[in-house]
Amino acid sequence: MTTQTLPSDPLAAEPAVAAGTSDQTQTWVRVWDPLVRVFHWSLVAAFATAYIVEDDLLGVHVWAGYLVLVLIAVRLVWGVIGTRHARFTDFVRGPRQVLGYLGDALRSNAKRYLGHNPAGGAMVIALLLLVGATGLSGMALYGTQELSGPLAPLMAGLPAFWGGVFEEMHEVLANLTLVFIVAHVAGVLFSSLSHHENLIRSMFTGRKRQG
């Protein structure tokens, strides 16, 4: 499906560019603005850092978690006031559309979207919620066990068993987030193969094939 661009969007259209011998006849458009791309790869780096170092480097783990929460806050605002394909209204769809798209994808008959497809949009929301919940549960855990961080004043009066509750919650959410990340990467690879385009590259360059 060819998606028309809006002339009012400064990132919407660009003249054709040569991106290699096979791309010389293609028209490319700017889809992902710099903020979306910086957010995406910064979130990848911050979550990976926090997940890998765990409690072995507690200071690094904590600050990576803070960065994750700041990034999510910025993305939520940008999802309302940002450029066309960054806005939630561009890619958030209802369950019926998401399931319909997944069914079409399994039959190799899914439409191509210039921005996020319905399944990709659902995954974006799911990951924002999961990563955000992981970060907040981490702050609660840090406040309970270390009496440090922004939530420390609220956690100070809680019974000791809450430390174990928040620890279990934080671990479960982090691992569940990792499962969704793996599913997200699999979906990106599947969609790239189905539509003969490199979606990972587009999140670096910001450009996608128009047709």
Q: Mean per-residue pLDDT for 14-38?
A: 69
Element (H, E) at 207: strand 207-209
Sign (positive or negative) of CA dihedral 36, 123, 46, 132: positive
Contacts of 207 (CB under 8 A, 6+ apart): 14, 17, 19, 28, 29, 30, 31
State percent of the chain over pLDDT 70: 88
Give 89: exposed, middle or buried? Use CB within 10 Å, 0-12, 13-18, 19+.
exposed
Question: 1 or 135, which is more confident?
Answer: 135
Q: What is the pLDDT of residue 23?
A: 52
Position 8 confidence tier, pLDDT thresholds 50, 70, 90: very low
Position 45 confidence tier, pLDDT thresholds 50, 70, 90: very high
Rounded to an integer, what distance in angstroms lies between the CA atom of residue 54 and that of residue 41?
20
Q: What is the pLDDT of residues 79-108, one digit of tens each?
A: 999 999 999 999 999 999 999 999 999 998
Rounded to an integer, what distance in angstroms lies between the CA atom of residue 207 and that of residue 202?
5
Position 7 confidence tier, pLDDT thresholds 50, 70, 90: very low
